[in-house]
A and B are shown apart, each in its own frame.
Chain A
């Protein structure tokens, strides 16, 4: 068991004929993912790394039975690509693309919410269930199958955490990159809900960062609904205020958004805190031992 993706997930790549799309489609294939095709408007009939290319997501889905898509479409067209995938009824839409205008995502969000599709990202490394299915850009070899659920707003920080877990002998059930943009399809709470319900996930490691209030909301959710051990790290404890967060950005969160406020909320929820980024794996070990 795992969440979101497994060995039966059938995956297409939107933007497969681009250099980056092709490179990572090959990487996913080599990892063992069931890549079944790709989509680039106007390029139907071509093949890329042995996979058929279709003009539309709907055609690709009908021909291949795909239930997941990995989006590498350039930022100016990526929101439309997400809408196309949702419109074609693809269950899991993973948007890797970085640099999508935030108002484009504001237009996409209500459509996703009203649909049966789940969106991960954008601006994320993707999702991997080690040993079964990798959809995204993460290096496969650092992962190992196991029982820790990992989720994060940051790509390379997730690799760091996963690598520490693997070296400590803790494999992962599924690792989810939520994405670093202001508006993303899935929140910590969405993924916590899945990890809590997954019998194969025994503990959860989450990496947050300064800004917004997603971590505080996740902490409140953990306190009420999560019975499994949870450890967390917050990046940006030493970042100077005002450099990344806009002036009015702090209004909405009403004093929330600082690393200290987030750490306090997490501690209050009984979550084990990693004091430094080198301590993420150990923090998870401590969280398990505390039970």
Chain B
């Protein structure tokens, strides 16, 4: 689950990590009032969307950037007006961009240097790690690719946390003045503790700022949570902003399905993430374009699979559907019954290609054959992919 910058900063402040004072605004008037209330000569007005790259991002149809500095209350109102209700395109939103529904007005600070840090779980080490770099404010993936030696990394045990010496080590390698080390120690240790106590999956501070008076401040904050751990953080689920999510993806998540919308014409319904990705690969291999990734999982029942069909069919670009099931926990009979149910209650407006294998495959095929539903059956992966691509092209 993703949250907004201003929400992440509230959580960081509560965890003792230094952030600047700021207020969220949903109208230009609120932005002006926020500027006045903060009482600093300069404020940053920042678009709040669930995507990074906002500083360099641009609003469609204007020269407005996603983050700009305001020197007066009127200034803040003007910038907010240019953002609110408009669509911001950044390197992470794709060309369609995302609508800005709120802005964060944040007081300024005197910046000495911009750094980078993040906490995440490293698969190779098998534990959380604190990553830091002197290349703050830059596209960190590019830094990692071109100059991996600039990326510093310190693993830590979730329960013991980051040791003081590890924080000092990073402070030294980052070239922070010795007078700031004590401050850096507190900053990094509290950041790592927040990551663990919140069950975050990513906590990224870019830029991390060394101020002119030698303290560290999180100037930006990106926080995502481990969905598997949300059951023990009921309070965090209130931070979810469904307006930022793809409606079909939200709907799928509510039904316990894993769905990602793509831009093609062939709807895919598959069990298992690996097979679902492979099915997309196969569709492309045979010249088609997948409209979605959809993993119904292992334990889905007829209702959930029927909902999966509804979600796929709600995409107007879908011209054909490929069902690829290799039953393990999932039984082919469940899928077959769902196909019949969906054809009754939803109605298939596009050709449906079904490939079944695995648990209860013969019974499943029988249900489909006796149902009278118009289905193109396929034997094996290649046959299925060729048939669905042909059906989509004919439509």
A residues in contact (CB < 8 Å) with B: 20, 75-76, 98-104, 106-107, 109-110, 113, 125, 137-139, 142, 152-160, 163, 180, 182-183, 207, 209-210, 212-214, 217, 233, 235-240, 242-244, 246-252, 254-255, 275-278
Known: A139-B327, A235-B275, A247-B141. 6 other contacts (CB 8 A): A20-B299, A106-B127, A110-B127, A137-B298, A160-B275, A180-B274
| B37 located at the interface, meaning its Cβ lies under 8 Å from any Cβ of chain A in the complex | no
Q: Are B204 and A239 in contact (CB under 8 A)?
A: no
| B128 located at the interface, meaning its Cβ lies under 8 Å from any Cβ of chain A in the complex | yes
Which residue of the partner chain A has the closest CB to B204? A248
Q: Are A246 and B228 in contact (CB under 8 A)?
A: no
Given A103, A213, A235, A249, which contacts B199 in the complex, CB threshold below 8 Å? A103
Q: Are A248 and B120 in contact (CB under 8 A)?
A: yes
| B92 located at the interface, meaning its Cβ lies under 8 Å from any Cβ of chain A in the complex | yes
22 contacts between A and B (CB under 8 A): A107-B159, A109-B126, A139-B359, A155-B298, A155-B328, A156-B270, A156-B275, A157-B275, A160-B326, A183-B121, A236-B280, A237-B284, A243-B293, A250-B141, A251-B131, A251-B141, A252-B120, A252-B124, A252-B144, A254-B148, A277-B381, A278-B282
A residues in contact with B140, CB < 8 Å: 247-248, 251
Given contacts A160-B275, A163-B357, contact A101 B228 (CB under 8 A): yes
Q: Which residues 208-260 of B have a CB within 8 angstroms of A?
A: 222, 224, 226, 228-229, 231-232, 260
A residues in contact with B202, CB < 8 Å: 246-249
Chain B, 362-395, contact with A by CB distance < 8 Å: what is the 0/1 string?
Answer: 0000000000000000001110010000000000
Q: How far is the CA of A243 from the CA of B249 in the complex (A)?
A: 12
| B151 located at the interface, meaning its Cβ lies under 8 Å from any Cβ of chain A in the complex | yes
Given contacts A239-B280, A277-B279, contact A156 B226 (CB under 8 A): no
Q: Are B274 and A249 in contact (CB under 8 A)?
A: no
| B47 located at the interface, meaning its Cβ lies under 8 Å from any Cβ of chain A in the complex | no
Given B131, B226, B278, B381, which contacts A235 in the complex, CB threshold below 8 Å? B278
A residues in contact with B260, CB < 8 Å: 243-244
Given B123, B131, B277, B380, which contacts A214 in the complex, CB threshold below 8 Å? B123
B209 to chain A, nearest CB (A): 18
Which residue of the partner chain A has the closest CB to B357? A163
Given contacts A137-B298, A160-B278, contact A155 B290 (CB under 8 A): no
B residues in contact with A98, CB < 8 Å: 298
Q: Are B201 and A102 in contact (CB under 8 A)?
A: yes
| B262 located at the interface, meaning its Cβ lies under 8 Å from any Cβ of chain A in the complex | yes
Q: How far is the CA of A163 from the CA of B126 in the complex (A)?
A: 33
| B52 located at the interface, meaning its Cβ lies under 8 Å from any Cβ of chain A in the complex | yes
Q: How far is the CA of A104 from the CA of B120 in the complex (A)?
A: 14
Q: Are B274 and A209 in contact (CB under 8 A)?
A: yes
Q: Are B275 and A154 in contact (CB under 8 A)?
A: yes
How many residues of chain B get a CB closer than 8 Å to chain A's CBs? Answer: 66
Chain B, 133-172, contact with A by CB distance < 8 Å: what is the 0/1 string?
Answer: 0000000110011001001010001110000000000000
A residues in contact with B151, CB < 8 Å: 251, 254
A residues in contact with B128, CB < 8 Å: 103, 106
A36 to chain B, nearest CB (A): 23
Which residue of the partner chain B has the closest CB to A160? B326
Q: Are A252 and B122 in contact (CB under 8 A)?
A: yes
Q: How far is the CA of A155 from the CA of B329 in the complex (A)?
A: 10
B128 to chain A, nearest CB (A): 6
Which residue of the partner chain B has the closest CB to A275? B285
| B111 located at the interface, meaning its Cβ lies under 8 Å from any Cβ of chain A in the complex | no
A residues in contact with B158, CB < 8 Å: 103, 106-107
Q: Are A99 and B120 in contact (CB under 8 A)?
A: no
| B55 located at the interface, meaning its Cβ lies under 8 Å from any Cβ of chain A in the complex | no
Q: Are A106 and B121 in contact (CB under 8 A)?
A: yes
Given A153, A159, A236, which contacts B281 in the complex, CB threshold below 8 Å? A236
Which residue of the partner chain A has the closest CB to B203? A248
Q: How far is the CA of A104 from the CA of B226 in the complex (A)?
A: 11
Given B129, B359, B381, which contacts A252 in the complex, CB threshold below 8 Å? B129
| B41 located at the interface, meaning its Cβ lies under 8 Å from any Cβ of chain A in the complex | no
A130 to chain B, nearest CB (A): 15
Q: How far is the CA of A87 from the CA of B372 in the complex (A)?
A: 56
Q: Are A101 and B229 in contact (CB under 8 A)?
A: yes
Q: How far is the CA of A215 from the CA of B141 in the complex (A)?
A: 20
Q: Are A160 and B381 in contact (CB under 8 A)?
A: yes
A residues in contact with B382, CB < 8 Å: 276, 278
Q: Are A248 and B281 in contact (CB under 8 A)?
A: no
Chain B, 347-360, contact with A by CB distance < 8 Å: what is the 0/1 string?
Answer: 00000000001110
Given contacts A183-B126, A239-B293, contact A156 B328 (CB under 8 A): yes
Q: How far is the CA of A214 from the CA of B151 in the complex (A)?
A: 20
A residues in contact with B329, CB < 8 Å: 20, 137
B151 to chain A, nearest CB (A): 6
Q: How far is the CA of A240 from the CA of B121 in the complex (A)?
A: 22
B108 to chain A, nearest CB (A): 26
Q: How far is the CA of A203 from the CA of B159 in the complex (A)?
A: 42
Q: Are B328 and A137 in contact (CB under 8 A)?
A: yes
B156 to chain A, nearest CB (A): 10
